Structures are given as C-alpha cells and as structure tokens.
Structure 1
Amino acid sequence: MDKKNYLLLPILLLFLSCKNEKAAPVLNSSNYLDILNEEFSGNLAYETTSFVEKYWRVVGNTGFNKSVYKIAEELEKAGFVKEDSATGSDILTYRIEKRPLKNPTWESVNASVKIVGEDIPLLQHSTNRNMIALNSYSTPKEGVTAEVVYIKDLKKLKDLDIKGKIVFVETDPRRIFKQAIVKSGALGLITYSNPSYLQPQKNSTSIQFRTIPLNEEVKSWAIAMSYKAKEELKAALLKGKVSLNVHIETNIYLSEELTIVADIKGNKYPKERLVFSAHIQEPGANDNATGVGVALEMATLTAKFIKNKRFIPNRTLTFLWGDEIISTNRYVKEDSIRAKDIKWGISLDMVGEDTQKTGGTFLIEKMPDPSAIWTRGNDKHTEWGGRKMKLEEMTPHYLNDFLIDKFKEQGKRANWVVNTNPFEGGSDHVPFLKRNIPSVLFWHFTDQFYHTDNDRIDKVSKATLKNVGVASLASAYTLLNGNDATAKSILENIETAGISRLKEEEKQSEIALQMGDSLSTQISIISAWKDWYIDSSKTTFDMVKDSRSHQQYIKETSKKIDSLSSTIINKLSKIQMN
C-alpha cells in the first residue's frame, strides 16, 4: 500500500463512521415524550434525593445550606454560569440569594429518653430523628431527670402543680407550650399526636415531627413520641410514679437564608416564563428531597439539550429551590415587572414515592375549580383536607386540563397511576395563585410516612422520579414553545374535558335529586362548571398571535359547552317535575 494512502485510511474510516452515526433527534411537540423517556434516567434525581434526605433541613441550617451548594455544583457541571459573571449570550445562568435570618436557625444533634430504672431507652435519636421538637434547646450535658405527669384533660392543666416536672400529653406541644412551660414552669414536654392516616399501630416507631415556639428566655424543650413509646410510657405509669432521664443536644444559631434560582433563557420571549418551585426544608426523603432532585435533573437535562442544539425554548424556564412558600412568595412579590410575565407556576412536592410502600397515588392538585366547592363523584379530597371554597375564588384556566392530559399520556406509556384532587393548598403553588398566576401542585397522598422519621430513601422510587420528571418537562416544553397551533390543541382538549365533566355532573345531579337535594343546587353546579370551561377557553389567548381566527374557535367551543349545559339543566328540571 502507498504510504500516503496508508496515512489517509484512519481519516477515511473516521469520516465514514461519523457519516453513518445517526444524529440525535431535535425535540419538538411530536416527540417530547419519546425522547424524554429515553434520556431522563432518574439517576441524578435519585442521587440528589439520597444526598438531601440525610439532613434534617431547616432554612439556614447545615443540611439546608449543603443542599443548596450541592444543587449549585450540579448546575455548574451542566453548564450553568453564575448570574453575576454571565454575559448577554449566556442562556444558562443561576444565582444564590443570601439574606440574614431574623430568627436563629435550628438543627438536631442527639437525644435519648430513658425511664429511670430501665436499661433500654424509650427513644433515641439514632433511630428516631424526629423525636426532638423543632426549636428545642439542649439539656445540660448530663441530661435532666424529673417526674413525668400524664395529663388527659387539658382544661385542668392551668390548675395543676407541674413546676419542675415533665408534662406528658396526647396533643401537639404547641397547644400547651405557653401554659405548661412559660406560665406553669414545667421542665419540658413529652407528647404524642400522630394522626390516624399514618397508621401508627402498624408503623409503631414513626414520629411525625413537631415544633414549639422559640423561647430564648425559658430555653425549654419538647419530645415527640412514637406510638410504641407512648404505649410503653402509659404502661409504666399504670404501675406508679415514673421519672424520665432526658438528654437533648441541639444547635441554635444565627445564620442566613439561601435561595437558589436557575434560569434557562427563552429565545423569542425571554420575559415570559414558567417557574418550577421545589422547597428544600423538611426532614424527609419524599418530603421534599424528591422535589429537589427531580427539579435538578429537569434543569440539567434541559441544559444538555440546549448545548447540543436539540431544543431551543422560546420562553424562559426557571427553577427555584428554597424555603417552602416563603421563597416562592418572595419571588413573585419582590419584582412586580417579573411577576407580571410569569405565565405558569408549578410546585414539585413529594414527587418520588414508592406507592407500594407509602400508599396513596400521584396527584395533580388542581387550581381552584368547582370541585373545591362541590366535591362529589370521582373528585375526592385527600386526608390532608381542604376547606369548601366560594365561586368568587375560582380561577378558570386551561392549565388544569392541559397538565392532566399530558400526565395521563405518560401514565399510559409507563403503566403509572395519575389522579387529581381538588385544591387544598399548603405548598408552593399557593403564592403563585395569590398573585393570579396559574399554578398547580404535583404530589402524592396519602403517605403513611408523611412528616415522619420513616420517610427515608427506601420509600423513594426512581421510576416515579422519572415519570414525574418526564411528564413535567414534556408539559413545560409544550408551553414554553406554545403558539397558535398549541392554543388550538389545548382549546380542543378543554372542549373534550368540559363536555366530559358536564356529562359526569349530570349523572351526579340525577343521583342528588333522587336523594332529595334541591334542583337549584344542581343548576348552580352545572352552571358553575359551564362558566369554568367557557372562561378557561378564553385563557388560551396567552399563546396566540392570530387572535381573529382563535376568537372564532373559542366562540365555537363556548357555544357547544353552553348548549350542553342548557340541555342538562332542562333535563334535570323535567326529572324534578316528575
């Protein structure tokens, strides 16, 4: 072989190899779920969850701050640059906001509770890390020993001599802290108040975390008990006087509040944005290390697509990690110009559960719709519960049904159960809604380990983390690059969902009339759902450029929904007359 040709051979082989290698497909609305199911592994989400769940996280404490810097480290690996050193051409940026805390932060270190005369501890921190109530102070190094007094009737508390004693009650310690500790001089509290949905007799070692007021004058403490410990203590008290030796070690110190915000800048409409919020604080794995982990893999995978020129978002995608509700509330309030352009907000909270272990199901908590007023049929509140709302509190928007449709599609692909619940509140979707920003919550309930020290990494499913991440990103990408065609597609979905809902409410109203409920109530319900869907159809204008043709589509949808509503009301009126 000629030497020149011999040297050219490797170059030729490399060229042929590159030519034959199939280029990675560009993402578009027709293949989002296909590609995301291939490339969202769930590995980073799970690894991050495992890192974060090791810590009992309160804003400003060691575990919270380590979690923030772990997120920052992974973002930088993915190509995000610090906002203060970014140039105008940088699409991927992040910042860590720092603010001094008004009140000291808190962290648990160690604890044990022993019945005097017994060798085995009643409780110990190594196996029950929720046993120390948040804001408890340390005891002396040698601990404290005092008689325990069981009080069944809390009304008698103010009349009892409990000074220097340990008060045992079956209620939340916050209810009695002021009377027992501040006014009556009790040494400390030992309490039990696990709700029934935790199945305490089955999960007998679970302790749901509790909080007491931070009181720098009395510097007292409270211990929360498991069902097992509570029963053991009650059994001991039946035999006579009981004293407890309590040792507590905590850290209470001044610190700063950290919030981390990552932006993926939109190409056409950078001011318009979708925000995913995942709170860091809480002591558990599912609550809410999973939200932190899923959001991080969503951000880093999107960065990969952008760097490889496989996805270009038209609108900005933002990820927010911080203190639940507080950080999100600040984000939507501190900059009124930015808040005006937040088009959608989504809360990722308890999104990685192994439901075979925890119970319940994955849920999309809807924006306030009529099911939060009239909860019937397949609509059910969770054990967390929600108040009955009013018509003026309704927030008609396409986001509910759009997300339900996207998540159900992923559910079919992955044999994954997706359900909904009426609005209940209590997480990072609330600040968005209070600022009239469409927002929902992704979560799981019932969870028999909710807020307990048995909410550990073994209750987390990588498959669930992946399903939530895939469906969330597919939904986000669709909205970020939404246009006239997207708006029309969503409008068609609203029409289908509206007709289905009205037919279901017709069935429920017929049942209600048979049970003696009033016709006027049924008319109110049907009318409320009609108004909800007609008003929701109008919100699809937010992605439309050709408003004239879309206006006609909305008129057609509204006419169909209004006509069906009138037909149902006439039918119900005839049933009532007969």
Structure 2
Amino acid sequence: MFRKVLEDSKREVSGKNAKEYVSEIIKFHRIQVTEGYNKAASLCKKIFEENGIETEILEYDSDGKKMYLGFLSPEGWSIKKGILRIDDKEYANFEKESISVIQRSIPFKGEVDLIYAEKEEDFKKGYLVFTHDFKKGKDFARNYGCLGIVTDENRSKFDAPDSLQYLSFWGEKLFGFVISPREGEKLEKELKKGKKKTYVEIESSFFPSKMKIVSAKIEGEKDEEIILISHLCHPKPGGNDNASGVGLSLEIARVLKKFKKPKRGIRILLVPEVHGTAAFISENRNFLCGLNLDMVGENQFLCNSPLLIEKTPDATPFFGNYLLQEILEEVKKEVSNFQNTFKYPLFMSSVTPFSGGSDHWILSDPTVGIPTPMLIHWPDKFYHTSFDTIDKVDEKELKRVGVIATTYLYFIANMGKKEAEWLARLVTQRAKQRILESSDIDYTVEIEKKNLDSIKRMENIDVENLKKEIEDLSNFERKNIKVKEKKIKKGIIPKRKFIGPISLSKTLLEMPLNEKKKFTEKMEKYKDFKGTLELAVFWADGNRNIYEISKNVKNEIGKVNTDFLIWYFEFLEKHDLIDIER
C-alpha cells in the first residue's frame, strides 16, 4: 500500500544533500539559548525557505525561572573565552575545542590550587578539584564550597581515550573543564604528589533570553497536522547528535515539498531538546502524531551503532509503530543472494520498546497525546564526545533513514479510507502474532484494540470486526494455556498532577546533599530498573493501583521491581510532583 511512496522516496531522497546540510550545521556551537544555536536556527530557516517551504522562528521566554510543563527553562549563556593552564601547559581552550569547557560555566579569572578528589571528604572549600565522576563531583563541589571542577569523565574512554566528553551544568553555579581520559590518567598521578598551581580564565555571562524553535510547514488540504521533530541543540561538532537529524529533516522537507500536496499538513520542528518541545507543546497540542529523528546518520561500522525504531509506550498505543516496522522490512531488502531467491540488508537494525531520553518522551506522554516513535542509532561509540565528527556521518545511512521517514510521514499525511483499512489489517496481523507470544493475553488484547482505535484519529473507519478477530484468537489461546492470575491488592493509587513527563531537574538542584545522596544511591542500586520509572508514570492515571501499574510495565518491557516503583511514587509525592490515594 505504501510502496509507491517508498519508491518515490528512494528516487528523491539524497543522502548527499543531507550530509551537506549536516556539514554546515556542525560549524556552530549549538548550546541551548546561545548565539551559536540562534545562528544555526537562522541557517535552517534560510534552507527551508530556499526550498520554497513556509518557515518561522518561534520565540519563548527562557530565564532560568519560567517553567514550561514541568521543565525549567534555561538561562541564556554566552562564552567568549575558556582557558585551563596547569604548570604552563594548556589543558583546555574553548576557542580550540568547544567541549573542553563544561557548558554553562560561570565566569572566573585567576590562579587557583588544583587538588585530586577520590572520595567525598577530599573536596575542599576554595580549591579547584579534579574528579573522575562529574555527576557526584559537581554536587560535592557545590556543597563544600569548591571553586570548580576538572574532569576526565568519558563514556567512550576505552574506544576513544583522547576524546572529550560533552558535559554541562544545569543551574549549578560552578565553572569547570573537560580533559581526555589519557590526560586524566597522567594528571591523577601528578596530583597524588601534591596540589598544582593552575591558571583559569573563563569569560562568560548569564542573562534572560529566548528559546528559539524553527517551525516549517508542508501544507495539507485539511486543517490537521503531524509532526517531524529533531533537536537542533548540542555542542560543536555534534555531527550525528544531532546535526544528522536536523540535516535529514531539511532534506525530507525538500522532498515532501515536491510531492503532491497531502491531505494533512506536516509540521517540521527544530528545537532545543526537551526544553523547546515542552515550551512548544505548552501552547500547541493539536497534532495527530509525529516522528522524532535523533542520531540518524551513523556510519554503523565506525560507530558500532544499529538503526533502531523506538516504539511509543503502550500507555500511548499507536498504529505507526507497526507501519514503521513494515517500511523498515521493505528497506532492508537491499541485496540478493547468488541465485536471487532472498533479499537482505547491509545494515544493522532492530525494533525496541519505548525508552525516552529525547523529544518523543514529551510528545508520547499520554497527557500530551501525540504518539511519536523515534528513529535513532544506539549505542554510538562517539556519543556526546568531541569525536562526533562529520567522518562518522554516512550519507548512505542518511538516505536509508530518510526513505523510511519520508514514506512514513507522507503515507500518514495522505491517508484516506482505503489506506486506513489496509493499515487496520496490518495492525490486526501484528496483534495476532503478539498475542501468540504474550505471557499476559488480557493486557496484550487491551493494547492491540487501542492500536486499532488509534487509526480512527486519522480516518473514521469501522474496526469492530477486526477487534472481534483479536478476541476470538485470544479466547482460543486462553483455552490452550493456563494463565496464572494474581489477585490485585488494594494499595496506593498514584495520579499525575501535571501535563507532560515529570522533570526532576529543579527538585534535585534544590535538594540538600544528604537527601540527594540517598536518592542517587537508591537509583544506583536499582539502575537496571531505572527505565521502568517513566513507563510507570505514564500509567499513573488515578485509576490503576501500583500493582496494576507494575504488571503493565512488566508486560511492556519484561522486567519491573514493584518495591522500587513504590519508593519512586512516594518520592514524587513527597516533592509535590504526584498525588497518591491510599
């Protein structure tokens, strides 16, 4: 049903064009609410308009005080100079390497003593501290009156020991620098012999400003829209994260403009990640669905990074998850075996449950109600490092993802009754397969019926007969397996207070160190279950108790710790982020 759109997309989408856009975007240091970000936004607006696409830049107050949904807007930040010199050796220079300064550092100039801190009691008032652990180090530095920190924290230290990690302060009034793991190993040995005289010069400032969002529109026949979203922010270079998503969005828009006008409009948003989406959605929620492009150009062999479809959460059922999978299966038919009897891909890919961590997190929240899957590559050896450069971006991969995304967007935007009925059959087919594999048939049937209902947001078709097919299969399966039913205990019933995901950034920033340490220790103890928390919050509608929520989370991703969920909901209640009925 979508094959004509797929073939048109294969013919029109240019990975070369997309990579050229990426190469222009990475020239800017694109930290949120900064001059570099604003210049990149202006460039993108210019490219959209050159391709005949109506575009505007939306502005939202951003001063470190104003909240959008549950998210604190960042202050404007400017930096002109950032230098770290130890024993006359230059370890960091912002002009040479933007990531070498911890982003949003406060201004400072002068000579200070640098010491090594291996544990909490090593953090001393009035010193600059070298630490391997940025997250704990910044909290200890704030609490004990340290001037700032130097860190070699790096998630890619074994793959790229000479790279620098992108790190940022978010409200902590400190300055800091990033050095490579290789330099950090040497510096630790030197500091164990004694403190070092260090020269620091950071010329920076904070001020009330505006968050800017690039908003472009492919016009449709109806007054309905779907969203294509990518975050424009991140430090220079930020090739795959996320100049690739933005560059590909620009190319997709160019192609969509050439296609016949669809029934529904397509809104392309380039945003400061999460904060910009929260600001936009606080005023605009009348969208049918979306797609998020984040890290979509990886050279898979250099980055060791498969292409993923990340589905919407089960709490926000959506037919588009299955549509994306079906399109991916077609795109995977790249080459044939020797006798031309079978086709297979030359790239790695997978389909995963919802995980969050990007703009689809906000859009797919049930209280927002804009179901938005994501296309992403994960993991990536060079993620958030200075080595996320243009050579890691592959124009062939950009084309693959561009074809998938363009096909998905145009098919949904132009969907009529015939397409909707075909899609309903596809959803039913996939639903039956999922029921046969399910450990909880009742849960699966509930979700799959809602997946069918989600099609009716686009076209008001009758899906009752298809629901009956699903019910008939589930009844047959129930007779063939013994389902152990647990009695659902009466217990705490959490209910959300706000629209959108729960942000803990303001709460943690204001929390006393001892309490924050307990929080961090708990999260570390249950780190394998951290991803269950957001899914649990999605189900907190004031109707389900904690045991029902726990069961739903386990059905969705295969694991849960109910005691951990209870602790988390009580933590949220304590900080006035959720209500609990007992």
Length-normalised TM-score, structure 1: 0.74
Aligned to 2:149: 189
Pick from 54, 62, 83: which aligns with 2:35?
62
Pick from 282, 285, 288: which aligns with 2:234?
282
1:499 touches 1:564 (CA, 8 Å); kept in 2?
no
Aligned length: 461
Partners of 1:220 and 1:571 lie apart in 2 by: 56
Pick from 328, 335, 338: which aligns with 2:277?
328
Pick from 234, 238, 251: which aligns with 2:188?
234
CA displacement at 1:318 relative to structure 2: 0.8
Matched, 1:366 2:311: yes
Aligned to 2:134: 172
Partners of 1:127 and 1:204 lie apart in 2 by: 18
Pick from 477, 480, 494: which aligns with 2:427?
494
Pick from 45, 61, 69: which aligns with 1:72?
45
Secondary structure, aligned partner of 1:501 = helix
Aligned to 2:322: 401
C-alpha distance after superposition, 1:238-263 (max 9, x if no partner): 44443333343445455432111111
Partners of 1:493 and 1:126 lie apart in 2 by: 54
Partners of 1:568 and 1:472 lie apart in 2 by: 40
Most deviating of 252-261 and 466-475: 252-261
Pick from 262, 265, 274: which aligns with 1:313?
262
CA displacement at 1:115 relative to structure 2: 3.0
Secondary structure, aligned partner of 2:388 = coil
Which residues in structure 2 correspond to 1:406-425 (within 5 Å)? 406-413=327-334, 415-425=346-356
Pick from 129, 152, 165: which aligns with 2:118?
152
* Alignment-mate amino acid for residue 263 of structure 1: K
Partners of 2:312 and 2:465 lie apart in 1 by: 26
2:313 touches 2:364 (CA, 8 Å); kept in 1?
no
Partners of 2:249 and 2:370 lie apart in 1 by: 20
Partners of 2:245 and 2:165 lie apart in 1 by: 20
The structure-2 alpha-carbon separation of the partners of 1:546 and 1:531, relative to structure 1 and needing over 3 Å to count, comes to closer
Aligned to 2:575: none
Aligned to 2:58: 97
CA displacement at 1:445 relative to structure 2: 0.7
Partners of 1:287 and 1:97 lie apart in 2 by: 22
Partners of 1:528 and 1:545 lie apart in 2 by: 25
Matched, 1:34 2:3: no
Aligned to 1:349: 294
Pick from 98, 101, 116: which aligns with 1:132?
101
C-alpha distance after superposition, 1:9-52 (max 9, x if no partner): xxxxxxxxxxxxxxxxxxx9441111211111123321221111
The structure-2 alpha-carbon separation of the partners of 1:254 and 1:397, relative to structure 1 and needing over 3 Å to count, comes to closer
Secondary structure, aligned partner of 2:149 = strand
Partners of 2:232 and 2:178 lie apart in 1 by: 23
Aligned to 2:341: none
Which residues in structure 2 correspond to 1:529-548 (within 5 Å)? 529-545=444-460, 547=462
Which residues in structure 2 correspond to 1:187-226 (within 5 Å)? 187-195=147-155, 198=156, 200-214=157-171, 220-226=174-180
The structure-2 alpha-carbon separation of the partners of 1:57 and 1:327, relative to structure 1 and needing over 3 Å to count, comes to same
Partners of 1:454 and 1:108 lie apart in 2 by: 22
Partners of 2:59 and 2:192 lie apart in 1 by: 53
Partners of 1:134 and 1:568 lie apart in 2 by: 59
* Alignment-mate amino acid for residue 442 of structure 1: L
In the alignment, structure 2 segments of 5+ residues that lack a partner are 65-74, 335-344, 486-582
Which residues in structure 2 correspond to 1:385-396 (within 5 Å)? 394-396=315-317
* Alignment-mate amino acid for residue 481 of structure 1: N
C-alpha distance after superposition, 1:510-532 (max 9, x if no partner): xxxxxxxxxxxx4xx33322322
The structure-2 alpha-carbon separation of the partners of 1:128 and 1:96, relative to structure 1 and needing over 3 Å to count, comes to closer
Partners of 1:555 and 1:454 lie apart in 2 by: 53
Partners of 2:298 and 2:176 lie apart in 1 by: 30
The structure-2 alpha-carbon separation of the partners of 1:29 and 1:124, relative to structure 1 and needing over 3 Å to count, comes to same
The structure-2 alpha-carbon separation of the partners of 1:326 and 1:530, relative to structure 1 and needing over 3 Å to count, comes to same
Aligned to 2:200: 246
Partners of 1:417 and 1:122 lie apart in 2 by: 38
Aligned to 1:374: none
Which residues in structure 2 correspond to 1:417-566 (within 5 Å)? 417-434=348-365, 435-505=368-438, 522=439, 525-545=440-460, 547=462, 550-556=463-469, 558-566=470-478
The structure-2 alpha-carbon separation of the partners of 1:238 and 1:180, relative to structure 1 and needing over 3 Å to count, comes to closer
Partners of 2:435 and 2:262 lie apart in 1 by: 36
Aligned to 2:481: 569
Partners of 2:437 and 2:146 lie apart in 1 by: 57
CA displacement at 1:443 relative to structure 2: 0.9
Partners of 1:484 and 1:449 lie apart in 2 by: 45
* Alignment-mate amino acid for residue 395 of structure 1: T
Q: Alignment identity in percent? A: 26
Secondary structure, aligned partner of 1:135 = coil
CA displacement at 1:568 relative to structure 2: 4.9
C-alpha distance after superposition, 1:112-153 (max 9, x if no partner): 43331x6x534444664312111113433xxx3332221212
C-alpha distance after superposition, 1:509-554 (max 9, x if no partner): xxxxxxxxxxxxx4xx33322322233223333343553xx43344
1:78 touches 1:304 (CA, 8 Å); kept in 2?
no
* Alignment-mate amino acid for residue 271 of structure 1: D
* Alignment-mate amino acid for residue 362 of structure 2: P
The structure-2 alpha-carbon separation of the partners of 1:125 and 1:360, relative to structure 1 and needing over 3 Å to count, comes to same
CA displacement at 1:426 relative to structure 2: 1.6
C-alpha distance after superposition, 1:282-337 (max 9, x if no partner): 121111111111111111221123xxxxx1200111101121122223333314xx
2:239 touches 2:390 (CA, 8 Å); kept in 1?
yes
Partners of 2:171 and 2:451 lie apart in 1 by: 45
The structure-2 alpha-carbon separation of the partners of 1:220 and 1:563, relative to structure 1 and needing over 3 Å to count, comes to closer
Secondary structure, aligned partner of 1:55 = coil
Partners of 2:169 and 2:175 lie apart in 1 by: 8
Secondary structure, aligned partner of 1:121 = strand
The structure-2 alpha-carbon separation of the partners of 1:185 and 1:559, relative to structure 1 and needing over 3 Å to count, comes to closer
1:68 touches 1:260 (CA, 8 Å); kept in 2?
yes
The structure-2 alpha-carbon separation of the partners of 1:242 and 1:263, relative to structure 1 and needing over 3 Å to count, comes to same
CA displacement at 1:466 relative to structure 2: 1.1
The structure-2 alpha-carbon separation of the partners of 1:326 and 1:115, relative to structure 1 and needing over 3 Å to count, comes to closer
2:125 touches 2:146 (CA, 8 Å); kept in 1?
yes
1:281 touches 1:323 (CA, 8 Å); kept in 2?
yes
Secondary structure, aligned partner of 1:260 = strand
CA displacement at 1:570 relative to structure 2: 4.0
Length-normalised TM-score, structure 2: 0.73
Aligned to 1:257: 211
* Alignment-mate amino acid for residue 246 of structure 2: V
1:60 touches 1:255 (CA, 8 Å); kept in 2?
yes
Partners of 2:37 and 2:276 lie apart in 1 by: 13
Which residues in structure 2 correspond to 1:15-30 (within 5 Å)? 29-30=2-3
RMSD, aligned CA: 2.6
In the alignment, structure 1 segments of 5+ residues that lack a partner are 1-27, 81-92, 306-310, 370-393, 506-521, 574-578
Partners of 1:177 and 1:415 lie apart in 2 by: 44
